[in-house]
Amino acid sequence: MTNQLTREELITEISKNLLPEDANFVKSLNQLLQNLGETHFLNIATSCYQRGLEHLQAKNYDFARLDFDRTIKLNPQADVYYQRAKAFYGLENYQNAIADLDKATTLQPQRAEFYDLRGDAYVKLRNYEMALANYNQAVTLGYSSQKLTDLQQKWNNKLRQEEEKRQAEEKRKAEEEKRKREAEAKRKAEEEARRKAEEEELNQLKSEKGIDYRPLRDYLKNGEWQKADEETSARMLEAMGESDWGSVYSSDLQNFPRTDLRTMDKLWLKYSDGKFGFSVQRDIWTSPQVGGKVGELDYDKYCKLADIVGWRKAGDWLSYPSGFTFNTNALPGHLPLWGFVGVVDWARRVGACSSFVWVSRDQILFSRL
């Protein structure tokens, strides 16, 4: 005996597979059912919705979403948006889930479960503030949820961590700013020290005749000793208002500006670490080794001086410039020579031997230091 479906069972079976494109068929069949006095009719939207719920229950989220899409096109209700949001949530499409729940809460704002699910979606997106707001609304509407308490504790921990991080960052920035200020203060202090040193150095480069001693300073600083010696000779002539040593008289040396002589001497002393300079030569002259006195004209003693500073060798006076040593290996007092060639010319003019003229020249200038 064959089992036959009742009319109601047949309607139910047909409903399970209805799609929106079956609209004309459903319309005709419903008309027939009405003519037969039937009270149960086919509904495509209901069919799609029920099928979507079944897929959702089975975790077939793609099929569930598809059936809810069909339902919404036919009859967009809050419950359908809510169920499709569940499907999106299962598909990990949390933004679309939130979008559907926004529509659901707009249609039925008093449904606590809508807010609860939207809170879940926001948690997945790590938007804890919005999640807390939705959980709180769900609880306000009578939804009992431990989620709010748990997330609140987690949020408080997060806030505390962020606050600690913020404070640590502020401390780091403050320390960085402090380092920058200290570095800037140090830079300014060093710059000021350099400025003062330069100013002091310029003050040390004093001249009664307005002479610029910076070239001499630079030659000495760079260890260009022969150029420094030549520059010394040239500046000495400038201080006396002469162009060459052949034009210099004893009176010129006797009136040589003390300030300028001391400026040149200080420069030689500074950049040779006290090895060269007029005062070094003077001190050797007055030392027990030589036994000379400032202003004393004694050729024999002067020869001793020349031997000590390296202007003579084996009793012979050296030739300029090849015989002299223009580096720090020279003997103390070896430099400056200041006008060796000019002194020879001067000696010829006054009819004296150049060595004696050197004695006179040195003694006159030694007295000006």
Residue 154 confidence class, pLDDT cut points 50, 70, 90: confident
User: Roughly how many angstroms between the first and final C-alpha of the chain, as a whole number?
Assistant: 146
pTM passes above 0.75: no
Residue 368 confidence class, pLDDT cut points 50, 70, 90: confident
Q: Do residues 196 and 244 lie in contact, with contact meaning Cβ atoms separated by under 8 Å? A: no
Together in a domain, 137 and 234: no
Together in a domain, 138 and 237: no
Q: Do residues 234 and 336 lie in contact, with contact meaning Cβ atoms separated by under 8 Å? A: no
* Residue written as token pair 């879940």: 120
* Residue written as token pair 């200038």: 365
Together in a domain, 230 and 331: yes
Q: Which residues of 334-352 are buried (b: 16+ CB within 10 A; e: fewer)?
A: bbbbbbbebbbbbbeeeee
The answer to whether residue 1 is domain-embedded is no
**Residue at a domain's end among 107, 131, 154:** 154
Task: Measure the CA–CA gap between 256 and 68, rounded to whole angstroms.
Answer: 112
The CATH number given to whatever domain includes residue 257 is: 1.10.10.1770
Which of 58, 61, 63 is CA-nearest to residue 19? Answer: 63
Which of 70, 128, 116, 65 is CA-nearest to residue 93? Answer: 65
**Residue at a domain's end among 154, 187, 222:** 154
The answer to whether residue 256 is domain-embedded is yes
The answer to whether residue 189 is domain-embedded is no
Together in a domain, 126 and 243: no
Amino acid at 300: D
Together in a domain, 108 and 219: no
Residue 313 has phi, psi (to 5 degrees) of -145, 125
The answer to whether residue 192 is domain-embedded is no
Mean pLDDT over residues 75-84, rounded?
95
- The pLDDT of residue 157 is 75
pLDDT digits (tens, 9 = 90+) for 165-207: 888 888 899 999 999 999 999 999 988 888 787 677 666 788 8
**Residue at a domain's end among 128, 154, 180:** 154
Range of the domain at 348: 214-366
CA 292 to chain centre: 64
Tally of domains within the chain: 2
